[in-house]
Copies of this chain bind each other. A is one copy, B any other.
Amino acid sequence: MTHDTTSLLLALALFLVLAKLLGDVFERLGQPAVLGEILAGVLLGNLPLVGVQGLAFITTDAHLAMLAELGVLVLLFQVGLESDVARMARVGGSAFAVATVGVIVPMVLGTLIAAALLPEASTYAHVFIGAVLTATSVGITARVLSDLGKVDSTEGRIILGAAVIDDVLGLIVLAVVRGLIEGARVGGEGLGAAAIVWIVAKSVLFLGGAILLGGPLSRRLFKVAAWLQIRGLLLALSLAVCFAFAALAGAVGLAAIVGAFAAGLILDEVTYRPLSGREPVGLEEQVRPIGTFLVPIFFVHTGARVDLATFADPRTLLLALALTAAAIVGKQVCGLAVLQRGLDRLSIGIGMIPRGEVGLIFAAVGQTLGVIDARTNAAVVLMVFLTTLLTPPVLAWSLKRRASSSSVSSP
């Protein structure tokens, strides 16, 4: 559904101003600004509850959803640009261990809770609800770490690395569970071992290929681009690489944000050295204004889709709270999987809590497959909202607590 241009432009103006103002209020309270942006969305999206209908379209408008998606791509691209592949590889073992534990434990807990609270649903539905809990929202976590200046700490790199890996693992789980359900529906056997291997292989190939081949290739491409001396070419080319990688990730069945993050990782390696001074600032500085415009749209939009009216049904609330508890507890075991010593395991576990866009994508797929009904969907959205709302203040507290106790400082 799309709305007319006038309403869309007014909504964008409101999004930008309210997100910045509430973001600032939260920053002054010592909280990450992203929480204020989400709250701005909750306020704007729930105006119909108090009888104001003028902005009711923002939760369903296709154009806003698209701009929000571009916003989260730019955010992950920025996070990738800020990240360092070599330093990320050094925490690769820990990140992989954290991600694996963080996929298995919440999935088992979620399946058990679904079986207990929704006995009338099929086993496939139970497993599917478990799968919804697997993937950490790297967007929320990245933004909180960025707001607190912790992206490049060891803990920050483990959390971001694990969040990317569990996105990939989660999407593999989704592909496998979907294959099982569709296989069962046509009456045949489930998904063959070969198909499972193929889903796993193409995911690994994409990220490995992007980092191993993309790095050297784009280094050459950008050398040519710098030599061409076209004003704005390097920014345009960088955005093109970001969008192309996001599209490629989508094409092989991964989330588009994984591609945008990979593009940022690769271009971080590129020596961005303008020859003639026609490019006054670096790539990160050039991408920042685009992020200032588009990233808040994502968070306001995420907040706007939380329908506060769903809180009215106590059974929805119970399911949501149980799933939220599983989502939180399930990821706390992650911290124990960290291989290095002396690290802030509590912060790592907390950093893995938020579920976001991937969880919502899972819920949408589940509705298409007929294993997730409207009530379960509302509970999933609430779980996403609660984990998202909880993480920023708790993670900020946890990271600051650690920083202030200098006697146990990490290496």
Contact = CB atoms under 8 A, between A and B. Distances in A.
Interface in A224-258: 228, 230, 232-233, 235-237, 239-241, 243-244, 246-247, 250-251, 256
Contacts of A69: 5
A12 B243 contact: yes
A121 interface: no
B5 A244 contact: no
* Count class of interface residues, chain A: 35 or more
A223 interface: no
A23 interface: yes
A282 B301 CA distance: 29
Given A244-B13, A280-B285, A237 B20 contact: yes
A292 interface: yes
A247 B16 contact: no
B236 A19 contact: yes
A23 B114 CA distance: 57
Chain A facing B: main interface SS: helix
A235 B9 contact: no
B247 A13 contact: yes
B236 A16 contact: yes
Contact of A66 (B8, B16, B17, B287): B8
Interface in A1-41: 2, 5-10, 12-14, 16-17, 19-21, 23-24, 27
A75 B6 CA distance: 18
A197 interface: no
A228 B14 CA distance: 18
Contact of A293 (B19, B20, B290): B290
A207 to B, nearest CB: 17
B287 A240 contact: no
A246 B9 contact: yes
A296 interface: yes
A236 B12 contact: no
Given A66-B8, A281-B281, A13 B243 contact: yes
Given A5-B256, A251-B6, A230 B16 contact: no
Interface string A208-228: 000000000000000000001
A369 interface: no
A141 B112 CA distance: 65
A296 B296 CA distance: 23
Interface string A258-293: 000000000000000000000011000111111011
A402 interface: no
Contacts of A17: 236-237, 240
Contacts of A14: 240
A306 to B, nearest CB: 22
Contact of A237 (B6, B16, B228, B280): B16
A250 B290 contact: no
A16 B281 contact: no
Interface string A56-89: 0000001100100100010000000000000000
A5 B237 contact: no
Interface string A281-318: 10001111110110010000000000000000000000
A340 to B, nearest CB: 33
Contacts of A16: 236-237, 239-240, 243
B289 A247 contact: no
11 contacts: A6-B256, A12-B239, A13-B239, A14-B240, A17-B237, A20-B233, A66-B66, A235-B292, A235-B293, A286-B292, A287-B289
